[in-house]
Amino acid sequence: MGCVSLTQTQTFFFLVCMKFPRASGILLHPTSLTGPYGIGDLGTEAVRFVDFLVEAGQTYWQVLPLGPTGYGDSPYQSFSAFAGNTLLVSPELLVEDGLVDGRSLNDKPDFPAATVDFGAVYRWKTELLAAAYDRFRRGAGNGIRGELEAFCREHADWLDDYALYRAIKSTQSQRPWYEWPDKFRLRDERTLNIATEQLADRVDAEKFYQFLFFRQWNAVKKHANDNGIKIIGDIPIFVALDSADVWCHQNEFKLNADGTAKFIAGVPPDYFSKTGQRWGNPIYDWDAMRRDGFRWWVERFRATFRMVDIARIDHFRGFIAAWEVPGEDETAENGSWVAVPGRELFSTLKKELGELPVIAEDLGVITPEVDALRDEFEFPGMRILQFAFGGDAKNHDLPHNYTQNSVAYTGTHDNDTTVGWWMSQAGGGSTRDETAISHEREFCKEYLQTDGSEINWDFIRAVWASVTDTAIAPAQDLLGVGSSGRMNLPASTDGNWSWRLEDEALTESILRQLRDLTRIYGRD
């Protein structure tokens, strides 16, 4: 793979001083953009959102992982740590490229406007992409053939394996790789060579779909960068068991002989669940990864920095120790903390890639060792205002306790919206009881001098006014939507990730209010 795709200015900014400017931005996953095709995509509305950020004086657009989603539609359970989510491909741009007849878009299903029906979108987009590929094979889109060939050469390190994985999966009723016949599951070389030849058309189609995603995403990113907007992406610490990554690197994960996970990742009982969170991701065999110089991690970070400008490292504390749960357990209660060579890993990454423009998601059970690892590499940590009111004045999530080298959020994709949090009741998405909720609400009223009538803007103002270098708010908090706008409820599998902006939701009034706060507090 090639070098990290940063402009000369960005390279100087990050590699020389590694200091985040005083700035702000908005968290909105592309699936949540508005539009007529059932899911946000990388077409007109993505460009319009960038333009909104520019006009509102913002510096960052933060997104969730951009990989192809599997079970539960979670961007944190992806079929690949390198590939893109082709559900984000814009149908309108396919028409512009001559790959789809514009009249066919009139036959789209009657998608809901405010949510993503992932099943319906998947079925329609799959047929649309297949039609685009068929038209391409028959001679359409001649102007992009050279780009496609260059893309396949440039990304061959991961693309060849991923395309074959998806092609074989399509012949196995979409079953996970560890349920495939042994000759495929164990990656018999002769079998894979034959499959590559016999499934050549399906393999080429998967490469074509990835090309479309990256072509459109790179255009959006260029528009953002050209207008002073940097993209904050996301590196989930773990990958899905049913992924090309695990299938191709089985010796680097703690698996049983049949390919199932011997141990799975999660966290012990916490704010969100009394039985902990059982994520289901396989655990890395760090000794095996160390032996080849953490090569998979180096290439993963390299690829990520080609897609985004800054990476948020999800579950950073897992680079000190991971909560390993026996694979057969139904809850995360019986796990144990097992040490991870995080310092050795990040030293290797820094040596291979230079200074790392990352944000450390240092939430959860944090130890002095986690703080020391974060500080040694000068990664900014995170502060969440919704977590600030459960204790006293010493709570480090209160704005007066923020440090400059940090990233402060009103809430994240795992939190309720700010309005939803304000209106919360016992048992509604956290382990708090009514007494705890009442205490938080009263402390919040006193701290922010608010009656709660515009609690979302009170939160944004508090974070924007703080000393932290970087302030981020989810788009839901700009709108003041309640719990219906929540993106994800940890420890649950249904109803997540589906929230969308409605047409014209980001009004001129919202833009002005955000721009004014950004100017007043010196973040523009």
Active site residues: 314, 361, 414
* Structure token pair of residue 152: 């396949």
Task: Give the number of other Cβ atoms within 10 Å of residue 331's Cβ.
Answer: 16
Q: 19 near 53, Cβ under 8 Å?
A: no
What count of Cα atoms within 13 Å lies in the side-chain half-sphere of residue 253?
30
Tell me the C-alpha distance between 444 and 447, whole Å: 5
CA 468, 424, 440, 395 dihedral sign is negative
Contacts of 140 (CB under 8 A, 6+ apart): 98, 99
- Alpha helices (runs of H) in 138-238, residue ranges in sequence order: 145-154, 156-171, 182-185, 189-198, 200-226
CA 129, 131, 135, 138 dihedral sign is positive
Contacts of 149 (CB under 8 A, 6+ apart): none
Q: 388 near 437, Cβ under 8 Å?
A: no
Tell me the C-alpha distance between 49 and 227, whole Å: 12
Q: 256 near 282, Cβ under 8 Å?
A: no
Q: 386 near 394, Cβ under 8 Å?
A: no
Contacts of 218 (CB under 8 A, 6+ apart): none
Q: Crossing angle for the helix pair 200-226 and 44-55, nearest 10 degrees?
A: 20
Contacts of 134 (CB under 8 A, 6+ apart): none
